[in-house]
Chains A and B, each alone.
Chain A
């Protein structure tokens, strides 16, 4: 469980890194749903810690101010932080930063625990989980998908959902369909356990433009946050190198240097390990959610890039509504699987 991208991220549930539009609508719904799931299921270190975005230059700050004003007008809570008040949010922040913004709605979960607890909750409500069973194809009735072929036999189904994340493209290909989900590699550094040194999710204003970039080359921007267990997590890098899992010391070095730039105190802290994973990346950076008209009966729920855990709750919610032929709570037109044709 959580052996793919879910277990290779930081478990972010963010509104701060999203501009007004359909993905932010989905994120805002998801934040509310995660709160509810944390209360009803729990056991996965849900923490409504809030996000602090910081700028190191006046140009960066101007961009951040514009972004946060647009987000505020859209209903997102965003508080401007003058340079001299940054220390009240994060006492260890570098002192030469020029300002920031605080997003109290940003939250975090421990993603592997979240996946495990949600699966356990689903099983207690009657779901069957069959780990280790490989989907090898689809049962078809003409164009229709009416079930899944596996290495342990046929599984007939009224509806089939492709929630294979970064591997969703391969699953769609088994149905003869092209689904443009590509891997975008990222590394995370894990420090030795520390007391609370970083209170919020803290990242640099450039992160938002990095997320939105389509460049294949390496991008890094500092993202630093504590965890309830003690280690500080340090990201983020983005590069399109296929499914190459090779550790890259130059990338790790850049991540460490950028984190120290934001939090000089980390210079003296040991990194105990690093991990990496592959974000499921679609050409327009939006997830792919909904029925595939090319193969009735098949639904997709993948391509969330780095926001998969954050958007998971709302994705499941609107998919359930689509499956029941109800009007989804947020408009999913922008996420249509056939928009790439």
Chain B
């Protein structure tokens, strides 16, 4: 960890993921070897970073309980709780 200059972590699906100051959640996840953290709405296909610049909305993730955050542009912060997202991320609302 220290070789990458990281000292802090956020929680991703129940475990600690290190990040460098200013790094996006998406960059930290990829650096940690996580390539996919969302499944598509209809076919549950895996998704992660695609454009990496906030345009494509492929890298959606649940941050502190809020779904549909773009992992590529949300800056990682210590004590964030990040969860991978299934579909809309709001399955609990389904009627």
Contact A230/B41 with A193-B88, A195-B87 known, Cβ cut-off 8 Å? yes
Residues of A within 8 A of B91 (CB): 195
Residue pair B95, A194 in contact (C-beta under 8 Å): no
Interface assignment of A92: CB less than 8 Å from any CB of chain B: yes
What CA separation (Å) do A193 and B88 show in the bound complex? 6
Interface assignment of B93: CB less than 8 Å from any CB of chain A: yes
Distance in Å: Cβ of A232 to nearest Cβ of chain B:
10
What CA separation (Å) do A70 and B93 show in the bound complex? 36
Binding site secondary structure of chain B: loop
Taken residue by residue from 53 to 95, chain B's Cβ proximity to chain A (1 for < 8 Å, 0 otherwise) reads as: 0000000000000001000000000000000000110110111
What CA separation (Å) do A53 and B41 show in the bound complex? 29
The closest CB in chain B to the CB of A269 belongs to: B90
Distance in Å: Cβ of A299 to nearest Cβ of chain B:
43
Contact A265/B93 with A192-B68, A230-B41, A270-B68 known, Cβ cut-off 8 Å? yes
Give the interface centre of A195, A230, A269, A270 by most chain B CB atoms within 10 Å. A195
Binding site secondary structure of chain A: loop
Interface assignment of A196: CB less than 8 Å from any CB of chain B: yes
What CA separation (Å) do A196 and B94 show in the bound complex? 5
In residues 169-218 of chain A, which contact B (Cβ within 8 Å)? 192-197, 199
What CA separation (Å) do A119 and B39 show in the bound complex? 35
Residue pair B88, A195 in contact (C-beta under 8 Å): yes
The closest CB in chain A to the CB of B94 belongs to: A195
Residue pair B95, A197 in contact (C-beta under 8 Å): yes
What CA separation (Å) do A326 and B76 show in the bound complex? 70
Residue pair B95, A92 in contact (C-beta under 8 Å): yes
Interface size range on A against B:
10 to 19
Taken residue by residue from 224 to 248, chain A's Cβ proximity to chain B (1 for < 8 Å, 0 otherwise) reads as: 0000001000000000000000000
Distance in Å: Cβ of A115 to nearest Cβ of chain B:
24
Residue pair B93, A92 in contact (C-beta under 8 Å): yes
What CA separation (Å) do A230 and B41 show in the bound complex? 9
Interface assignment of A91: CB less than 8 Å from any CB of chain B: yes
Residues of B within 8 A of A199 (CB): 95
Taken residue by residue from 39 to 52, chain B's Cβ proximity to chain A (1 for < 8 Å, 0 otherwise) reads as: 00100000000000
Contact A230/B95 with A193-B41, A270-B68 known, Cβ cut-off 8 Å? no
Residue pair A195, B68 in contact (C-beta under 8 Å): no
The closest CB in chain A to the CB of B91 belongs to: A195
Residues of A within 8 A of B68 (CB): 192, 270
Residues of B within 8 A of A194 (CB): 88, 90, 93
The chain A residues found within 8 Å of chain B, CB to CB, are 90-92, 192-197, 199, 230, 265, 269-270
| Top 6 A-B residue pairs of the complex, sorted by shortest distance between their CB atoms | A195-B94, A91-B95, A197-B93, A193-B88, A192-B68, A194-B88
Extra A-B contacts (16), CB below 8 Å, given A91-B95, A196-B94: A90-B95, A92-B95, A192-B68, A192-B88, A194-B88, A194-B90, A195-B87, A195-B88, A195-B91, A195-B93, A197-B95, A199-B95, A230-B41, A230-B88, A265-B93, A269-B90
